[in-house]
A and B are shown apart, each in its own frame.
Chain A
Amino acid sequence: MIINCRINGKQASFEAKSGERALDLLRRIGFLSVKNGCDCEGTCGTCAILLNGRTVNSCLLLAPQLEGANIETSESLSRGREMNQIQEAFLDSGIVQCGYCTPAMLVAVKELLVKKPHPTQDDVMEAFSGIICRCTGYKQIFDAVEIASRRLSGDIEYNKTHPEFRDDLRTVGKASRKVDGPKMVKSDPCFVEDMVKPGSLYLKVLRSPHAHARIRKIDASGALKLDGVEFVLTHENSPDILYNAAGQGFPEPSPYDRRIVNRKMRFVGDRVAAVAAVSIEIAEKALALIEVDYDILPAVFSIEEAEAAGASQIHDEDNVEYCFPIGQNLKRNLAASATGGIGDVEKGFVEADVVVTRTYRTPHIQCTPLEPHVVYTYMDGDRLVIRASTQVPWHLRRIVAKVLEIPETRIHVIKERVGGGFGAKQDIVLEELAAYVTWKTGRPVYFRFTREEEFVCSRTRHPTCTTVTVGARRDGSITAVKMHLKADTGAYGPHCLTVPMNACSKSLPLIRCANMHFAVDVFYTNNVIAGAYQGYGAPAGSFAVQMALAETAAEIGMDHMAFIRKNHVRTGDRLDILKVLGEGQEGIPQKVSSSGLSECIDRGQVSMNWYSREESATPHIRIGKGFAIVQQGSGLPGLDAANAIIKQTGDGLFVVLVGGADLGTGLDTVCVKVAAEILHVDPALLTITSGDTDTTPFDVGAYASSGTTFTGGATYNAAMRMKELLFEAAAAALGTGTDGLVLEYPGQVKAPDGKKVSYDKIARNTQSGKGTGQLIATGSFTCEEAPIPYGAHFAKVEVNTLTGKVRILSFHAYQDCGTPINPDLALGQIYGGVLKSIGHSLTEKLDFDSKGRCLNPNFIDYKVPTIKDLPADFKAELVFVDDHLGPFGAKSISEIATNGAAPAISTAIYDATGIWMRDYPFTAEKVLKTLVEAKEN
């Protein structure tokens, strides 16, 4: 049927089917700002448009419902290349991170400010109540709306004041707009899904309905006969190459335990077959025509079942290769194990007045980027191009080269903007499959996970079970700490050793104690695949250790905060425990180069009014406070590496090329600012290309909180090298030596005698036919020590003792991040990390039935926080410390933010009610059950 309506002020007329979704229609006719994050269940809001001035989900509208309507998409905000006030406000507030939900947020603000030019906080919350964002923690939306509101009502110059650091620096430590922000707020095509050309093949995967089964027979002939089907892949024609999907540095500490398509199915959702067809509908039809005969095997669904005697063996030795041993024992389903320690814990326990042993558990938690895993592959001559939404472009290239058995020169990976990664996109979850089909067929292939696939076939946090034993004297000194962590890696083992190791290496070194011991045992199960997720095991380790310390404090009758103050690490401490906590190799002990822990605790003590007890007006509501100290790393010393190139343009400015993968975290912005600071130029005049394996240099990628320190550090070194090159060129131009030359803003070299030469002139000199060649500087970054960020997170909660519901009243996060390169974006990282981990603490958990089938693979039943779930009093502060390891003394910022919520909230629940919640999420049902049991005892 023909639909007539107005779209963005213009009359539009188009053909649509009765049942076509407005979302699909709008994307089909070129409005790419309309996203799809939930597969049209109507829960995520990223497809929002204005329908007759009201924000609605276009996925819940049929195309004919647009008849006669006035439609506005996010594209309506820009006028040509000009941004409007709302878009500018988004950039000035720091709210834009990955940018995937930004178009939806923009239309929501548009509606809001038309209806309420001066909205209240509640108005803002209602306006955004239908949009899920997992990056930002929503907090800076309030700033964005305020800035837009004030400017639109005439206060053109209005801006929020962001905290500033380092008076000695021009750019670093001050807020500036995200370099990739404009294209996101203008809703320019910048995601993989925006690149797909007509005529591409669509890939769909037949998924195993059984948790553990061997394929006896598979017959894909029916699918192959279907018109429009171009390729079918089963284990019968799958390349016989073992690999691991983990995007880690080579040689990886993860087992090569899978082929593209395996014969044995190891979880509900495992790949049985893949079909490439000219449309999604045909591909899905073809899947139904594949006949599979399964030999169903007994399955194991928990750590306990996996380690039990006689448990079904999930992987056999013939099908697994290791780069080096990681303590595996496949007969016992042990994917990896490690143990080690310092001092003598048994002696320590003997010396203790009290020995507390407790066990803590954490569940499957999904990363839930709003943009699911997606890839677009095609041939360019004899080269394979992979347009990817990835955290690890180089590991992706290496792994695809291995699986396809082709040289890396045949592959070009282009990282597009990433609509949320959080760790899930550190793995090669779907790229190698699409790449293989393109390589075999020569056809462009588009492969995008459904939301259900994203929940089931992507990566989750490892479920863990951690027993911690703490020995302490009544004076509050800790004599020994022992931690035994067991983890469930699921069907395959990406990150199987390293995530659990990180749980220990980011929690034990927070405490000063001479006797410490750890053990990790990681088991294969027939559950979904665990992998990397922001924090990388540290949230589980932090929960166990911080809780055990709190319970120990209670046992010895000491105030929790006093106990922590007495025992936490300080600047200059030597962290010997790190020697035994490497990633499958010997670790590097290091000194604490700086720690803001004390100040973080001090600030929280004051802002939370720590020692005052609060009562609710209604007796069944109890209020309590809790806190936890946290740490992370800033990349992996001795393992990670980054490189950068800076090239001078003809007018004397610079192009920065880095291999790092900006996931919306602001890494590109960090690199530009670092370069601009050193080179004394306006950062807005520089440009950056990143994450492209042809044009930018090698970088391990975005994980382990390495971005600012490693990629930023490489940029720093490249800029320092460029400085030398500028001096040499200036000396030649001035006919002097390089001694005493300095760089001056905005882009000139000054000699001691006051003579100056501009970068512009240097560029013209060096790039002329008589010149010495374009100035191109390279820099690399590796290290033996990386800065450790510290922090303290505080929660005030109320517990409803009739329903068990826990509500967060206040959450204050104090983080020492050295010199924050970009304070507003740094704060956004903290808010986002904290809110995610509040979600993990209270509601997020994948549930499975007795056959291993996921019961809640959608946003209807897997509940993530919305803007209305923000703590009423939500605050993050950056605590400056003087550090010297990272570029300009910067430390990592985002992963650490996920480590505090669970223990802070749990200790607050204890303070409120006297119960210890030892496994998160602290659902109302669980809390109420524990309350009832405590009452009965």
Chain B
Amino acid sequence: MIETFITPASIDEAVRASFENTGAAYLSGGTELNSRAAKIKPAGVISLSSLGLRDINYSGETITIGAMVTLEDLCHVGHPRHPFMLALRTAASNIGNRNIRNMATIGGNICACKSCSDMLPLLLALDARLQIHPSPGVEETVTVEDYIAGPKTALITDVVLPVPPKSFFVAIRRYTRTANDLALVNVTVGLDVRDGECNRARVSIGGVAVRPVRIFEAEAALAGQQLDGRLSELSLRLESLLPGAIEPITDHRGSAEYKIRLSKGLLIEAFIATAGKGGVAR
């Protein structure tokens, strides 16, 4: 039961409050923390509502998204008209439903770090970084990958996306039972394709490990490859390497065997779709 509700006025105050109230958790939207189904039941909360952190700033090289930007706001980000922003919209709109997205924030979504998060695979594929405040007076930049591998307790203030080149294309494929469902498996494929050749590949999957993971084997299998006319061949390769790279568990939502099959199917769909966006011929 939550006994204390603190509303700090600044980032410093928030971080200090967190150190002074060890049983308290940061509260942003509350869609995870306040749910009866929440995994953690803190004794108190530190509300981030007065910290701002609701802006999206664009520079030439990066886009900085405040941690308190809601997922619904992300569904409508319009500028700049780069394909990866469209992917960001898609990832955000895949999460929950309007009522949830109106409250849930990108920072909160990262902290919650669900195995099947619809946002994290994309952030991994985009090499996203986080501005965090692990302790009073300390500010650091870490990769999303490193952050979610850790305790996920440091306050996130911003999500920083390096703007990829125009030749970077992304596709997201996922399976849910109903529209208002967590993904069972979701796959994000990002490819930097120039003249049919893959310069850089990013493959990330949610729902197949304790947290969303990059599939480095798949990325290596695609990087430097000429894709034109080879999609079927490369699909087979991706399919064959995948079981060794993921370790889904059997639960009542699906068997491990099915999740592997599903991951293969979605990976092939996402790979072909991404390559298609990059102008690659089957």
Interface residues of A (CB under 8 A from B): 1, 18-19, 21, 39-43, 45, 48, 51, 54-57, 59-62, 64-65, 67, 108, 126-132, 620, 800, 802-805, 839, 842-843, 847, 855-856, 858, 860-861, 863-869, 923-925, 928-929, 932
Question: A858 to B98, Cβ gap below 8 A?
Answer: no
Expressed in whole angstroms, the Cα–Cα distance for A129 and B96 within the complex equals 8
Task: Given A41-B37, A861-B253, A866-B97, answer yes or no on A64-B7 (Cβ-Cβ < 8 Å).
Answer: yes
Question: A864 to B178, Cβ gap below 8 A?
Answer: yes
Expressed in whole angstroms, the Cα–Cα distance for A932 and B258 within the complex equals 11
Which of chain B's residues 1-56 have a Cβ closer than 8 Å to chain A?
A: 1-5, 7, 27, 29-31, 34-37, 44-45, 47, 49
Task: Given A1-B5, A129-B180, A800-B265, answer yes or no on A39-B102 (Cβ-Cβ < 8 Å).
Answer: no
How many of chain B's residues have a CB under 8 angstroms from any CB in A?
46
Question: B175 to A803, Cβ gap below 8 A?
Answer: yes
Which of chain B's residues 231-270 have a Cβ closer than 8 Å to chain A?
A: 252-255, 258, 261-262, 264-266, 268-269
| Least Cβ–Cβ distance between B176 and chain A, in angstroms | 8
Question: B180 to A868, Cβ gap below 8 A?
Answer: yes
Return the chain B residue nearest A281 by Cβ. Answer: B1
Question: B5 to A62, Cβ gap below 8 A?
Answer: yes
A residues less than 8 Å from B2 (CB atoms): 18-19, 62
**Quick check: is B87 within 8 A (CB to CB) of the other chain?**
no
Return the chain A residue nearest B103 by Cβ. Answer: A56
Expressed in whole angstroms, the Cα–Cα distance for A858 and B38 within the complex equals 13
| Least Cβ–Cβ distance between B11 and chain A, in angstroms | 19
Task: Given A855-B252, A866-B180, A929-B258, answer yes or no on A60-B97 (Cβ-Cβ < 8 Å).
Answer: no
Question: B178 to A843, Cβ gap below 8 A?
Answer: yes
Question: A40 to B97, Cβ gap below 8 A?
Answer: no
Question: B1 to A858, Cβ gap below 8 A?
Answer: no
Question: Residue A45 contacts which of B97, B177, B266 (CB distance < 8 angstroms)?
Answer: B97
Return the chain B residue nearest A128 by Cβ. Answer: B98
| Least Cβ–Cβ distance between A358 and chain B, in angstroms | 25
Give the residue among B2, B72, B102, B181 with the most A Cβ atoms within 10 A. Answer: B102
Question: A863 to B252, Cβ gap below 8 A?
Answer: no
B residues less than 8 Å from A18 (CB atoms): 2-5, 44-45
Return the chain B residue nearest A847 by Cβ. Answer: B252
Interface residues of B (CB under 8 A from A): 1-5, 7, 27, 29-31, 34-37, 44-45, 47, 49, 72, 93, 96-100, 102-103, 175, 177-182, 252-255, 258, 261-262, 264-266, 268-269
Question: B266 to A803, Cβ gap below 8 A?
Answer: yes
Expressed in whole angstroms, the Cα–Cα distance for A128 and B255 within the complex equals 32
Task: Given A1-B5, A48-B99, answer yes or no on A42-B31 (Cβ-Cβ < 8 Å).
Answer: yes
Question: A56 to B49, Cβ gap below 8 A?
Answer: no
List 13 contacting pairs A-B, 8 Å CB cutoff, sorted by A. Answer: A19-B1, A40-B34, A41-B37, A45-B99, A51-B103, A55-B102, A56-B99, A56-B102, A60-B103, A62-B27, A803-B262, A861-B253, A928-B261
B residues less than 8 Å from A51 (CB atoms): 102-103
Q: What is the total of A-B residue contacts with beta carbons within 8 Å?
A: 146
A residues less than 8 Å from B44 (CB atoms): 18
Question: B102 to A54, Cβ gap below 8 A?
Answer: yes
B residues less than 8 Å from A929 (CB atoms): 258
Question: B252 to A861, Cβ gap below 8 A?
Answer: yes
B residues less than 8 Å from A67 (CB atoms): 7
B residues less than 8 Å from A57 (CB atoms): 31, 99-100, 103
Give the residue among B1, B31, B99 with the most A Cβ atoms within 10 A. Answer: B99
Expressed in whole angstroms, the Cα–Cα distance for A21 and B35 within the complex equals 10
Question: A54 to B72, Cβ gap below 8 A?
Answer: yes
| Least Cβ–Cβ distance between B54 and chain A, in angstroms | 12
Question: B37 to A860, Cβ gap below 8 A?
Answer: yes
Expressed in whole angstroms, the Cα–Cα distance for A805 and B49 within the complex equals 40
Question: Residue B34 contacts which of A54, A61, A108, A858 (CB distance < 8 angstroms)?
Answer: A61
B residues less than 8 Å from A42 (CB atoms): 31, 34-37, 99-100
Return the chain A residue nearest B259 by Cβ. Answer: A925
Question: B1 to A60, Cβ gap below 8 A?
Answer: no
Expressed in whole angstroms, the Cα–Cα distance for A805 and B262 within the complex equals 10
Expressed in whole angstroms, the Cα–Cα distance for A59 and B72 within the complex equals 19
Return the chain A residue nearest B266 by Cβ. Answer: A803
Return the chain B residue nearest A842 by Cβ. Answer: B177
Expressed in whole angstroms, the Cα–Cα distance for A126 and B34 within the complex equals 23
Question: Residue B254 contacts which of A19, A130, A869, A925 (CB distance < 8 angstroms)?
Answer: A925
Expressed in whole angstroms, the Cα–Cα distance for A149 and B10 within the complex equals 42
Expressed in whole angstroms, the Cα–Cα distance for A43 and B36 within the complex equals 10
Return the chain B residue nearest A18 by Cβ. Answer: B5
User: Which 9 pairs of residues, A with B, have the shortest CB-CB distance?
Assistant: A130-B99, A802-B265, A19-B2, A868-B179, A130-B97, A129-B97, A18-B5, A54-B102, A40-B36
| Least Cβ–Cβ distance between B180 and chain A, in angstroms | 4
